[in-house]
Amino acid sequence: MALTRIILWLGNSIIFCAALFAITSLTAFLSTDFDAAVKMGGLTIVAGLVGTILIATTFNTSMRESNVEAIIFLILFWLIMPFIFAFPFRVLGGSATYLTAYFEAVSAFTTTGASQLTADAQRPALLFWRSLLQWFGGVSSATFAVVILASLNLTGTGVHRSLLFTHKTGELFTRLMGIGRIVAGIYLFITSAGFIFMVLGGAPAFESICLALSGVATGGLSPRSGALSEFMSPFSITILAIICTLGAMNIAVLWDLLRGRNWRNIRRLFNNVEHRGLFGMLAFMIVVGVIYAGPQNIFSLLIDSMFFVSTAGFQYDVISLDVVHPVILVCASLIGGAALSTAGGVKVIRMLLLIRHLSTDLSRLSHPSRVVPVTFKTQTIPDQAFLSIWMYFFAYTLCFGIGITAFGATGLSLTDAMTVSAASLSNMGPLLTLTYPESGLTYADFNSLQIFVSSMLMLLGRVEILAAIVLVTPGFWRNT
């Protein structure tokens, strides 16, 4: 294993941090918040110097890497970058301690949307920073899914496979920049279009840009406290719901649509098997919402259901999905969106494959001598290919259970522990406010241990859990 190669790409990542700091500094300067502009400018210089030093000391490293190095870089990227991203939350006065600042950075970067901060009490530069951080986290998660996770899944069921990715051994890192530009370009286009339409719909410009950045990343952090209906028109909120839904869709399908420039191909958005599963979840949430809240709230239920199934979790109205039974919300939140998207959760494609495999096994039980192949999207999938998906499902369930136990050990009740564990692991922070409101628990009430456990679960939910678990297996390190 070449450590210098990992350091080189961490250096490149820190350069991206400096660029994000610079954008926030410029935004603060344009909004006449010169104090924030100077502080963010200072962070830009420091991050730029650190990144440059790391790159300069490892510049001659070979660009060919192994899968082991790719996994280590993936894990270190998600662990280390929030330490750097946490500084604006400290220097701009948002967080009292560095631990809480790290929690805010992890939440934004993993597009979870959990926060201890009161939005109305924060300066605009900090609100813009965490929205921009959510957007970058969404781009990063989709890029890693397309490049690194796809390459590690070539012999499996193809959960992460994409036309964007052509595997060439030893060229994973060199593909990150090219694929990253494509992913960023797609999400930038959606963000820009969403911002323009929301402003045209009467929404405030600053709130619109923050929500557009957060929406396409399915982040869920709002620039204002309270329900979105208080400052967003029905037209603008519909645009935001569409943005969130697009963020939860397969990025490869969106790329094909934009690349072809043939809008008649928009039917591919609805023909894709993952998207059909996503729309099925949307229909289910609307029906359940009507049962609990009544048909008079159909528009609010439609919008909030779009927010929910995308794992963004924004809340448009105070009477909507929050009246649905919490167990339904928790179970639905764990499913998530498309595999190649900014959404969290187990992913729709995995659930569809597991259901298909389960139905085939049940058929075999009733007819033991019958040969029943598993078919999916007109392809026959061997039973061995499902091993990684069942392992992932088991690992995800195990982490969910460990999270409930850990939160319970820190003093939370069973219901609160279950909700917080699901919200953190599924990267859907607003789930906490939708379930068991009578408990009164908010993220601001978390102690240090609860903040730490929640942060680790957020990171596990954003990284492929098996990729993280494999680091503690002896066989992995014997092959390094």
Decide if pLDDT at 227 tops 90: no
Nearest to 113, CA basis, from 364, 467, 434, 427: 427
Longest dimension (CA), the chain: 76
Look at 142-146, 256-260, 271-275 and tell me which has the smallest mean pLDDT: 256-260
Return the top range by mean pLDDT from 16-25, 145-154, 265-274.
16-25
pLDDT-derived band of residue 111, with 50, 70 and 90 as boundaries?
A: very high
349: burial class by Cβ within 10 Å (0-12, 13-18, 19+)?
Answer: buried
Nearest to 321, CA basis, from 202, 204, 428: 428
pLDDT-derived band of residue 214, with 50, 70 and 90 as boundaries?
A: very high
Which residue type does 457 have? L
Decide if pLDDT at 89 tops 50: yes
Q: How many residues does the chain have?
A: 480
**pLDDT tens, residue by residue, 12-66:** 899 999 999 999 999 999 999 999 999 999 999 999 999 999 988 887 776 666 6
User: Rounded to two decimals, what is the model's pTM?
Assistant: 0.91
Q: Cα(143)–Cα(141) distance, rounded to whole angstroms?
A: 5
DSSP state at residue 375: E
Q: Cα(306)–Cα(278) distance, rounded to whole angstroms?
A: 10
pLDDT-derived band of residue 457, with 50, 70 and 90 as boundaries?
A: very high
Portion of the chain with pLDDT greater than 90, in percent = 44
Tell me what pLDDT residue 368 has. Answer: 65
Tell me what pLDDT residue 65 has. Answer: 64
**pLDDT tens, residue by residue, 339-355:** 888 888 888 888 888 88
DSSP 3-state percent helix, strand, coil across the chain (nearest 5): 70, 0, 30
Q: Mean pLDDT of all residues in the chain? A: 85
Decide if pLDDT at 158 tops 60: no
Greater model confidence, 153 or 59:
59
Q: Cα(164)–Cα(170) distance, rounded to whole angstroms?
A: 17
